[in-house]
Amino acid sequence: MQDRSLNPCGDKPNCVSTQDDREKHSLAPFSLTNESSIDGIEQAALSLGRAKTAVKESDYLRIEYTSRIFRFVDDLELRIQDGKLIVRSESRTGHSDFGVNRERADKLRKALLEANQINP
């Protein structure tokens, strides 16, 4: 799977991103702290549960989340760039995600705040 962290979402309502300015897809920016690290960001993302790291680079992560019942896989892509964390969460299959990716991004923001990886 190729890195799509910098791409806006498609037309399906199963994706959210800091790189997309359409209301149904957009996420507010994630501003990194001076203490931020790829390892700290990874730990916060994995703490959300049912997750595994698929790709880890010095400035990029792709975390795979598997749904409990149907075992659907969603991809959370995270990229450190210019003091910000670019966030993109998208379902691999289906049309709608019933808000799961936005909820995941909100939980990630809370976990990153608690871990002092992003600024309030």
Please answer whether residues 101 and 18 qualify as being in contact, where contact means their C-beta atoms are separated by less than 8 angstroms: no
Q: From 120, 98, 48, 95, select the one nearest 61 (Cα to Cα).
A: 48
The answer to whether domain 15-114 has CATH 3.30.310.80 is yes
Please give the model's pTM, rounded to 2 decimal places. Answer: 0.95
pLDDT value at 95 more than 90: no
Interval 2-55: pLDDT, tens: 999 999 999 999 999 999 999 999 999 999 999 999 999 999 999 999 999 999
Which residue ranges make up each domain of the chain? 15-114
Q: Is the pLDDT of residue 70 over 90?
A: no
pLDDT at residue 54, rounded to an integer = 99
Mean pLDDT value across residues 68-87: 95
